[in-house]
């Protein structure tokens, strides 16, 4: 990955920031994006203090024009784009019967359309470099999670898009990776949207028991180097995908039971 130009959306915290550190320490040139200038500035200072060549740009992935500007900025600063890591994402927690549909739309705009926009404007450059497109999906893209309508739907859609792209790029030398972390310690649950669109605030799960963002980033880095098609992380994640394929009825009950144990769970 030395001297590869890597764009990471949502790169100012969590898995995105850990990916910037992981690729950057291996010699990649990094462009991180995000919606908060202060968070981006702080992340950029940390990256540069570690000797990583990095840039940052304010960009809202849900806005097509921001993604166009992001790709142009990368070309202006580095002259090429080798890898796009579609990491920016948001979650929600509310029963479908209670949720405001604008909440679902907001999640889809970021998690699905944000990937389409970013990939659309970076892809011509990635094709030239025979590089990689990475989508950070989720086990929730294989198994629908109750009270996560928008999140699971966006990840199912994302995985369909990445499969299409991988097939279309088969003879163009472009690598497409669908990376599916299990539960990983990050800010995504704290910023998760509730039924009315307000932020949840506190995580309903035991973050300290989860895979760290840094460990997750290491797995994604190695999968990118090896040009793997899929990466499914954690034993729980692998087991969920397997059981859901062969025993969907059983999994309905098991998943309901597990999710109902969350703090202040919408499920009764």
Please indicate, yes or no, if residue 80 is contained in any of the structural domains: yes
Q: What local confidence, expressed as pLDDT, does residue 202 receive?
A: 66
Higher pLDDT pick, 209 / 17: 17
Q: What is the pLDDT of residues 41-58, one digit of tens each?
A: 999 999 999 999 999 999
Q: Can you give the pTM of this predicted structure?
A: 0.93
Find the domain containing 80 and state its range.
Answer: 5-260
Domain count, the chain: 1
Please indicate, yes or no, if residue 266 is contained in any of the structural domains: no
Please indicate, yes or no, if residue 214 is contained in any of the structural domains: yes
Instruction: Provide, rounded to the nearest whole percent, the portion of the chain with pLDDT above 70.
Output: 94
200 pLDDT band, cuts 50/70/90, is: confident
Residue 113: active-site member = no
Please indicate, yes or no, if residue 268 is contained in any of the structural domains: no
CATH classification of the domain holding 228? 3.40.50.720
* Mean pLDDT for the chain overall: 94
Please indicate, yes or no, if residue 265 is contained in any of the structural domains: no
Report d(CA 159, CA 178) in Å as an integer: 7
184 pLDDT band, cuts 50/70/90, is: confident
Please indicate, yes or no, if residue 267 is contained in any of the structural domains: no
Query: Can you count the helices (H) and strands (E) in the chain?
Result: 9, 7
Residue 24 near residue 52, CB atoms below 8 Å = yes
Alpha carbon separation from 79 to 73, 115, 124 (Å, rounded): 9, 22, 13
Please indicate, yes or no, if residue 151 is contained in any of the structural domains: yes
Please indicate, yes or no, if residue 129 is contained in any of the structural domains: yes
Measured in degrees and rounded to the nearest 5, phi and psi for residue 42 equal -65, -40
Which two structure tokens, joined as six digits, stand for 108?
């889809």
End-to-end CA gap in the chain:
48
Which residue is catalytic, options 151, 171, 221, 256? Answer: 151
Higher pLDDT pick, 136 / 211: 136
Q: 160-174 b/e with 16+ CB inside 10 Å = b? A: ebbeebbeebeeeeb
Q: What local confidence, expressed as pLDDT, does residue 257 receive?
A: 95
């Amino acid at each position: 990955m030395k001297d590869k130009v890597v764009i990471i959306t949502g790169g100012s915290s969590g898995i995105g920031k850990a990916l910037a550190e992981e690729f950057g320490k291996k010699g990649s040139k990094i462009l991180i994006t995000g919606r908060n200038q202060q968070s981006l500035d702080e992340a950029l200072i940390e990256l540069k203090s570690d000797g990583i060549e990095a840039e940052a740009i304010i960009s809202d992935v849900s806005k097509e024009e921001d993604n166009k500007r992001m790709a142009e900025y990368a070309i202006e600063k580095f002259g090429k784009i080798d890898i796009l890591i579609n990491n920016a994402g948001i979650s929600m927690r509310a029963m479908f019967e209670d949720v405001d549909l604008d909440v679902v739309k907001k999640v889809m705009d970021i998690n699905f359309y944000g990937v389409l926009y970013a990939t659309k404007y970076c892809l011509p450059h990635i094709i030239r470099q025979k590089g990689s497109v990475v989508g950070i999906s989720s086990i929730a893209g294989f198994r629908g999670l109750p009270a996560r309508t928008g999140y699971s739907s966006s990840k199912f859609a994302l995985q369909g898009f990445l499969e299409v792209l991988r097939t279309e790029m088969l003879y163009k030398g472009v690598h497409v990776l669908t990376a599916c972390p299990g539960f990983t310690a990050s800010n995504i649950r704290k910023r998760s949207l509730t039924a009315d669109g307000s932020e949840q605030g506190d995580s309903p799960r035991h973050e300290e028991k989860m895979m760290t963002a840094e460990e997750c980033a290491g797995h994604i880095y190695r999968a990118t180097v090896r040009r793997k098609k899929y990466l499914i992380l954690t034993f729980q994640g692998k087991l969920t995908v397997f059981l859901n394929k062969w025993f969907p009825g059983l999994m309905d009950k098991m998943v309901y039971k597990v999710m109902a144990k969350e703090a202040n769970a919408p499920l009764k």
